[in-house]
Structure 1
């Protein structure tokens, strides 16, 4: 730690952490409506170690979080690692691994993830999400239908009569419990590697310091304890880098 590192992360005098509320595995709200979750715990621990004040910049989507860093409205953020985002963001190693899954109607002929990418299939995704970026590269025949919020993917999937909904497995499982007539396809179509990140313009030393912080938080048990404390199931602490 040195003053140059501290200044790189706090151009306004405090550390502004972009928080994406669109991922229920990492963020949520307590009874009073305040943000909570493993990302919130990390967002507060990092500036505590820097000896600076923390400001949460609460946003609804991953795309907004990326824009906040790119536009210098936030100093750090929490993202799924993706090469497109990596053009602007220096990612740490992942701290949590999450599965991406498909949801279909019970009467759908689809039985496996490999059957989704066919002409005539519409796959509903949250615009700008990690799985949107991934599927935009991977799907060659199916049509991608983008909706504003990841939380509304299944609702729009049902309303539009689409063939497939894609999302974070835990979010889809939650939707499954309150949406009759739907099921998950077995397995996963991707592993989402959740990391912290800062704008590349903040410099290599700042990015390395943030990466070292994430590695320490994994090794010390901080991330595992946060997942347990917040009742997160189905997500795993990422292995050491």
Structure 2
């Protein structure tokens, strides 16, 4: 009887062993959880902060005069964020903002400084705004557009940067004027000079910069909207957002944003109110 019981016990033990899934490790009773990920490892997983920037606008990047230090609010904020994280800074300058946005979505860059539109918030995460900028129009000499209210007329050609938030809004809202897309801000300035467009639409910080390069042009009074620029990071790194929010509040309070605005010669913008 005893030998039968032992055989039965051995059979039961063998069958039970077959029911245990392979490859599943069990935790040791006194095992401790690993250390929480640091903001640097979340926001700059490559070990350096890659900041997406684009040239021709003081909100993002302006090459240094005679090979000197670059300027631009985005450039300076990226440098400050890298220092705050304790990682090297790598500014990545693209030809146009649309390429910056694509790089944020793909994770090719770690951070960007751009208009926090509703559409963009679906594909990247934003901290609170640090800069408010009016949206307006730059008109060429002799343009039929005399005011913001007279833009939407048949025969009028309004330039926008291809794929920009201005493109998205005005392509929808303008019912009579023709929207003409330019690949870059620099090309848009040439189009204004040559009379290929009657006005160009974007934020006033960029418009004032363009006006210096287009003789006889002027930025119209009034606005058709507002841009609120904020720090953007790729989706999936939301664990780093509290750090970015704190950073944004700090650089607004300590005067870094205001100083960067002044150094870049940015016009038509103001530091966002504290929230």
Q: Tell me which interval the TM-score lies in, with the shorter structure as reference length.
A: 0.7 to 0.9
Distance change in 2, residues 1:23/1:134 (3 Å): farther
Q: What residue number does 2:242 align with?
A: 208
Gap runs ≥5 in structure 1: none
Q: What residue number does 1:55 align with?
A: 90
Q: In terms of Rg, which structure is larger?
A: 2
Match of 1:97 among 118, 132, 144: 132
Task: Give me the whole-angstrom Cα distance separating, in 2, the residues matched to 1:207 and 1:143.
Answer: 40
Q: State the TM-score, normalized to the length of structure 1.
A: 0.88
Match of 2:202 among 158, 163, 167: 167
Alignment of 1:1-241 (within 5 A): 3-30=37-64, 31-32=66-67, 35-159=70-194, 161-203=196-238, 205-241=239-275
- Count of aligned pairs between the two proteins: 239
Task: Give me the whole-angstrom Cα distance separating, in 2, the residues matched to 1:118 and 1:173.
Answer: 24
TM superposition shift of 1:181 = 4.4
The CA RMSD over aligned residues, in Å, is: 2.2
SS of structure 1 residue aligned to 2:236: helix
Task: Give me the whole-angstrom Cα distance separating, in 2, the residues matched to 1:65 and 1:82.
Answer: 15
Contact 1:151 1:171 in 2 (8 A): no
After the TM superposition, list the runs of 4 or more consecutive aligned residues in structure 1 that deviate by more than 6 angstroms: none
Gap runs ≥5 in structure 2: 1-35
Q: State the TM-score, normalized to the length of structure 2.
A: 0.78
Contact 1:61 1:129 in 2 (8 A): no
